[in-house]
Amino acid sequence: MLVLDCPFCGPRNESEFAYGGPALAPRPADPSAVSDADWVDWLTVPPNPMGEVEERWWHLRGCGAWLTVRRHTVTHAVTEVRLGR
């Protein structure tokens, strides 16, 4: 079970949070210059690397804050939790 250290509430179980997707999914500056396949990939395929990722989590059953969490996808080790993006 993942434990996230909310800056307001302290360490809390994953079940109090809702996953909000990857934190850094930069939108193409000019979508019309991107191929249809790349655009569909950007819209529908979340990044899933082996290693550290940044994700958005909402403390749904706590303070209601949106957090950015840096987590290793293999070990699930959380190395950073911060407010905002």
Residues of the shown chain interacting with Zn ion in the complex, contacts defined by CB under 5 A: 6, 8-9, 59, 62-63
Closest CB to Zn ion among 56 and 59?
Answer: 59
Instruction: Give the other-Cβ count within 10 Å of 23's Cβ.
Output: 18
Q: Using the minimum distance from each CB to Zn ion, give the nearer residue, 6 or 69.
A: 6
| Nearest distance in Å: CB 63, Zn ion | 3
- Least gap, CB of 16 to Zn ion (angstroms): 8
Please check whether residue 67 is in contact with residue 4, taking contact to mean a CB–CB distance below 8 angstroms.
yes
- For residue 39, which of 47, 30, 52, 51 has the smallest C-alpha distance? 30
